[in-house]
A and B are shown apart, each in its own frame.
Chain A
Amino acid sequence: MPIIMILYYLITAYLVVLLVWNFIREKKKIEELAQYLLVLIPLVLRILRIK
């Protein structure tokens, strides 16, 4: 795997951590909780090397 691809996977993992952290901290808005999870789907699929 080229180094640039590894870096992009690391960026993706970082975004996943940020979204999960925001999901955990969110206590008021259900729409935002749903949006965090929606945005997570393609990122998780990429990290798992599915899509």
Chain B
Amino acid sequence: MKRPGLVKAVLIFLFLAFLIQGGLRLYRHRHFDVSVVAGPGVTRVSRLSDFGPGLKGTMADTLVYFMEGGEPGGKAILMSNTHANEPEGLLTTLLMLENAVVEKGSLIIIPQFNHSASRNTRPGDGYPLYFEIPTDWGRKTFRLGNRDASPLDQWPDPDAYIHYPDRQLLSYIDVRNTNRTWPGRPNGPLMEKVTFAAMEIMRREKVDVAIDIHGAETMFPVTNCIVAPDKSIRIATLASLTVKAREGFDNHVEPSPTGFRGLSHREIGDYSDTLPFLLEAPIPFLDQPTGPKTEKLLLDGKDPFLLSLAQKKKLFVPYDASGWPIEKRVGQHCSIILEILRQYSKKNPDRSILARDIPRYAEVIQNGVGHYFHDPAGAEKDCLYPN
């Protein structure tokens, strides 16, 4: 090699250029805050660390919003971004936070349940770092996260994750997956501390209903459905039949498997008096045989490869050239949540939960998701929560 000093200098320059250019984008993503405008229904805001030890000062700590009605009644907890690459859940809960008013009972909302995962990304799969939703006042930018918590917050992964307390062997990566670490423990890995704190909310606040909001691949059988254990399945079935009859969309019921541990719909029911439900809306972006993982695919769900597979009957949901847009996914979640609360309230009138100003399926499709978000620039400062 001639002139090794010069060659090394050029290589170091290239190394620093790649490191700074790539590193800065990742750093900005991890520290980018989404401004949440708390609506008139939000009565107090707490943090998850108030309910579980070991979370204070970590990236796993997250905001917990309370929406308490004037009349006493039951309580429901809504969690989204358990998997932070399934944004329909986050958009559903933020839409509720900014608009809903609870008249009877309470809603407890944790929009960024796996807060660390929401500040993680998957560049290896070409994930976009952000996505934008058009609103009546401009475009609102959100972080796109990853399925699992960031290794910056919980590292290293074990060879296999031994679930607590059942000791079932799970994939090593599920130690950072907050839909495998239920019911958690106060002195376990960070993500077990997250689920333990959520269990503490349910136990201390005597929460009646827990709804964990997700999205799932169109090629995965557990999609477009409500997953419920035996104790919740009657309400889930009634909710599924009612939305089909009244609003015209399918959302079948899947039984929660008793032998698969760590999932919210399994452990919340087994370790508390709360009735758990897990909602899945189809999200083509997560399917493997698609084109590039673009922001457009994330939002409109249109993909020619999936369309071809749908014609060969390889998908578990109906799929045509209209894709599976975000409005449809968020609208489904809104209607299913309202229906679960209504069915629960009908069966338990003394613990009923009544909320207004939450749009249903047809309204979200007609108006678009962004219509329900308020401009942070025009909001009172004490209503703004960067999250």
Residues of A at under 8 Å CB distance from B? 4-5, 8, 23, 27-30, 33-34, 37, 40-41, 44-46, 48-51
Contact = CB atoms under 8 A, between A and B. Distances in A.
Given A5-B155, A8-B156, A27-B1, 7 more contacts: A27-B4, A33-B8, A40-B15, A45-B19, A45-B23, A45-B26, A50-B23
Contacts of B4: 27
A41 B22 CA distance: 10
Interface centre among A30, A34, A50 (most CB of B within 10 A): A50
B26 A41 contact: no
Nearest to B156: A8
A30 to B, nearest CB: 6
B34 interface: no
Interface in B13-42: 14-15, 18-19, 22-23, 26-27, 30
B11 interface: yes
Contacts, number: 44
Nearest to A27: B4
Secondary structure of the A side of the interface? Answer: helix
Contacts of A45: 19, 22-23, 26
A34 B15 CA distance: 9
A51 B156 CA distance: 14
Interface of B: 1, 4, 7-8, 11-12, 14-15, 18-19, 22-23, 26-27, 30, 151-152, 154-156
B1 A30 contact: yes
Contact of B156 (A4, A27, A29, A30): A4
Contacts of A37: 11-12, 14-15
B121 to A, nearest CB: 8
A40 B171 CA distance: 28
Contact of B19 (A5, A34, A41, A49): A41
Nearest to A44: B19
23 contacts: A23-B8, A27-B1, A27-B4, A28-B1, A29-B1, A30-B1, A30-B7, A33-B7, A37-B11, A37-B12, A37-B14, A40-B15, A41-B18, A41-B19, A41-B22, A45-B22, A45-B26, A46-B152, A48-B23, A49-B152, A50-B27, A51-B23, A51-B26
Contacts of A40: 15
Contacts of B26: 45, 50-51
Contacts of B14: 37
B11 A50 contact: no
A46 B1 CA distance: 32
B208 to A, nearest CB: 36
A30 B152 CA distance: 33
A51 B378 CA distance: 34
Contact of A34 (B11, B27, B152): B11
A38 to B, nearest CB: 8
Contacts of B30: 50
Contacts of A46: 151-152
B203 to A, nearest CB: 26
B95 to A, nearest CB: 31
Nearest to B18: A41
B19 A33 contact: no
B156 A5 contact: yes
